[in-house]
A = this chain, B = another copy of it.
């Protein structure tokens, strides 16, 4: 439309685009308000009214963008899960099949995600736990994919080294274990307490531990 000479049509197009942009912005504003409040007051502690207030819209508007409170958490969760996989999962998927790459991917969980987005961390590992079957399903879907990212990297590592796993599910079990380690370390040292030691030292210890565990399995 922008190509033809019709001024009006261009105007329409412009205003439609602007409306689209505003719509997207409002959606994000509400999501951001929910993120902030869910993290600080807890999912149940944050009322829809307070979320609307913080987003500077009316309750009705929140319900215009999200079906209900659970839907809001669900979308927030998916957004966070996407961010986490974008920042960290992608590192595992792109890792160059070296131990160094694998460790760096793990490191990015702490440096790129946890410290930069403590609220997202709190929501994905604390607020969304056990809230409802739907949310739990979404959490599982995310974790399965994230575990898949890690397992994929492990498999590529094994391939490169020409070694194989002890059992069919070993790679998956290790991926689950590694994700569990990351999760609890973040919970312990970032949600529950400030890291008394430097977080990078903590990550380094954990990653060396993982590296050793893998090397040993592979007869290193």
Interface residues of A (CB under 8 A from B): 42-44, 122, 126-127, 129-132, 136, 140, 143, 147, 166-170, 173-174, 176-185, 187-189, 192, 196-197, 201-202, 205-206, 208-217, 220
Distance of A153 Cα from B211 Cα, bound (Å): 21
Distance of A130 Cα from B178 Cα, bound (Å): 22
B209–A220 CB distance below 8 A? no
A196–B169 CB distance below 8 A? yes
B132–A42 CB distance below 8 A? yes
**Could you write out 25 A-B pairs with CB less than 8 Å apart?**
A42-B132, A126-B130, A129-B129, A140-B192, A147-B188, A166-B208, A167-B197, A168-B197, A169-B196, A170-B205, A174-B205, A176-B181, A176-B188, A177-B206, A178-B181, A180-B181, A180-B183, A180-B187, A183-B183, A208-B216, A209-B213, A211-B213, A211-B216, A212-B213, A212-B215
